[in-house]
Amino acid sequence: MSFSLRSQVAMIWWAIGFGAIFGLSFVFLLHMVPPPNADMDSAELQRWYESRAGEIKIGATISSYTSGFMVPLFIVIGAQIRRHEQGFPVWTWATIIGGSLTSLFLVFPPLLLGVAAFTPGRDPDATAVIHEFAVLTLITTDQYFVFPWIALIVISLRPSTVPASPFPRWYGYFSLWMLTMVELGALAFNWKSGPFSWRGLPFYFPFAFFGVWIALTAYLLLRSIAAQRALLALDESIGPAKPPSDADSDSAAIAGDERMVTMAVPGTGWLASSRRAEELQPTAVEMGDSR
């Protein structure tokens, strides 16, 4: 269990590190924040690529290593959702599969941008088609976002049944709002200029709020895992419960065959108690939680 928790921490930082590198390359090398105007003609777009071909190809190279950063993050989210489910873990699988498929739409745009910059002298119309495919793949692909976010909303809004859950109720409402913002992306199919073009709200709302969601989710996961590790360490320090002897049957009648210790989990704002590892239960809700 302790190794699993350490592995989850490593995967969260893996996602954060790769996500930061990907974001920087997307802004400063691929020059997609914001993307070029959708109403640029083929000749203008060709000149745009020719003047940035080297940077775009370097950005595509870096993105080839880092653009799948959502996969480890959603695996950890799925592992934490699994703690809340009994029976077949439908929401866990919706999270892991939906999140992994979502990552494809961060993988393909840099790949296509690299293809567009690869041969500067090609027919400008061909470059324009590749470019439009890349930008629309990035902005309008809402197909799989809905599955992991619905899972997070459901788990967060249900009463918590596990200690040190990383999904407070307010996070469910935040995820619902985030899902609404992300789903604006598909509107970019309908306008080449104005607030709903790919340089307008369908780009900026998901781009800004997606970064906030990743940072907040990583923080909640790391805090929760720290609490889970502290609870596990506490339980191991207590040791297994021993059956009462005849000599202390009176005290056993009062205390039973379990020992309870209550502690504040450092750095988390939780109070928790431990009996045995297999019966670990919270004795107080998270301080400041709105549940």
Hey, what are 150's tokens?
């619905």
Residue type, 152: L
Evaluate whether residue 114 is within a structural domain: yes
Evaluate whether residue 273 is within a structural domain: no
Evaluate whether residue 20 is within a structural domain: yes
Evaluate whether residue 154 is within a structural domain: yes
pLDDT digits (tens, 9 = 90+) for 239-287: 665 555 555 544 444 444 444 444 555 444 554 444 444 444 444 344 3
Cβ within 8 Å of residue 228, ≥6 positions away: 5, 163, 164
pLDDT digits (tens, 9 = 90+) for 50-105: 999 999 999 999 999 999 999 999 999 999 999 999 999 999 999 999 999 999 99
At residue 255, the pLDDT reads 44
Grouping H, G, I as helix, E, B as strand and the rest as coil, residue 106 is helix
Hey, what are 62's tokens?
């870096």
Helix/strand/coil percentages in the chain, nearest 5: 65, 5, 30
Percent of the chain with pLDDT over 90: 68
Residue 163, pLDDT > 70, answer yes
Domain that holds residue 61: 2-230
Place of tokens 């800004």: 208
Evaluate whether residue 12 is within a structural domain: yes
**Structural domains of the chain, count:** 1
Evaluate whether residue 262 is within a structural domain: no
At residue 209, the pLDDT reads 87
Does the pTM surpass 0.85? The reply is no
pLDDT digits (tens, 9 = 90+) for 213-233: 999 999 999 999 999 999 888
Evaluate whether residue 271 is within a structural domain: no
Omega before 206 within 30 of 0, i.e. cis: no
For residue 287, with 0-12 CB atoms within 10 Å meaning exposed, 13-18 middle and 19 or more buried, which class applies?
A: exposed
Evaluate whether residue 42 is within a structural domain: yes
